[in-house]
Structure 1
């Protein structure tokens, strides 16, 4: 029975390497997957899923106006075994509902990967909807940049200083975000923040 999965974690928890690993595992068994990534994530180029350790591969780009059910129903003729979605926090509520419809009506497993909350500890729309309706939730863990405890969020940094206000979405990697525990999100050790 197909299910809707949401694997979430702070930045640096290995979400992108996990999606690439899952795709590889399917493909080594001769099964086809459809990799999706939001248009907004252009850190390594539009339509690229890339991990911090250097692995990357192309993916189908999704804009916020795309109907994912229609897109996947059309691609299903290619005998898809699974749908894999990177940076799922950037999906709209409707798109998450469309992925649930893929699971329910097309009987295809959909695995989504993304952040649970933004750098100000508010849920992203896509993540909120996934938390509400996913069949299976799994937290991917990483450690705080300051103390080594479990990181539950990410601290946005600019010019070597923590940022606690601003736009919800600011695309960036290790140069812009540090995984942190709740305590060090509030009380970062300024001397440990990388300087520009």
Structure 2
């Protein structure tokens, strides 16, 4: 099992589920270095290679082509296909045409229990890569994804309005 070295949430040398189950792994910055790090003999003995957090590997496509097509490995790829803005995330979608089978898993919406196809970011950070767990992200259905972003935009508009700023200054002045 390989995971991105960017994922340091729970353990450096393990893939850890949200329930706390651990599975040992290699934490690497790239995939192409895996055969060398593992060793040629050990790599040749492998039948299956698992990749977790695949969206963080820039060399995902090249590695999957080489491992599956040239080296005869079964490669199991797990990762996000979309980011919190519902845009393509990393190169996970690029390996779909290479796959024998594709299984898209879903969580349950934390607000209503329906299938959650989307990820809602609870924080204000804007960068695409923000590694976090339940403290930063929440699985949501389409309805709650769309309405949640609508609520956030409305709150920003209210908080950034001149009236709020003037009232805040007035309150500050009356407290002096």
Distance (Å, rounded) in 1 between the aligned partners of 2:112 and 2:71: 45
Matched residue, 1:133 = 98
Say which of 121, 129, 152 aligns to 1:156.
121
User: Helix, strand or coil: the match of 2:20?
Assistant: coil
Could you list the runs of 4 or more consecutive aligned residues of structure 1 that deviate by over 3 angstroms after TM superposition? 64-73
- Report the RMSD for the aligned CA atoms in angstroms: 2.3
The answer to whether the Cα contact below 8 Å between 1:91 and 1:126 also exists between their aligned partners in 2 is yes
* Runs of 5+ consecutive residues of structure 1 not aligned to the other structure: 1-34, 191-196
Aligned-pair distance for 1:90?
Answer: 1.0
The Cα offsets for residues 21-62 of structure 1, whole Å up to 9 and x where unpaired, read as xxxxxxxxxxxxxx1010111101323200011111321122
Higher strand proportion: 1
Aligned pair count reads: 149
The answer to whether the Cα contact below 8 Å between 2:83 and 2:119 also exists between their aligned partners in 1 is yes
Higher helix proportion: 2
Matched residue, 1:76 = 43
The answer to whether the Cα contact below 8 Å between 1:96 and 1:129 also exists between their aligned partners in 2 is yes
Q: 1:184 to 1:40 in 2, by over 3 A?
A: same
Matched residue, 1:40 = 6
* Runs of 5+ consecutive residues of structure 2 not aligned to the other structure: 152-176
Matched residue, 1:49 = 15
Give the TM-score normalised by the residue count of structure 2.
Answer: 0.75
Aligned-pair distance for 1:70?
Answer: 5.5
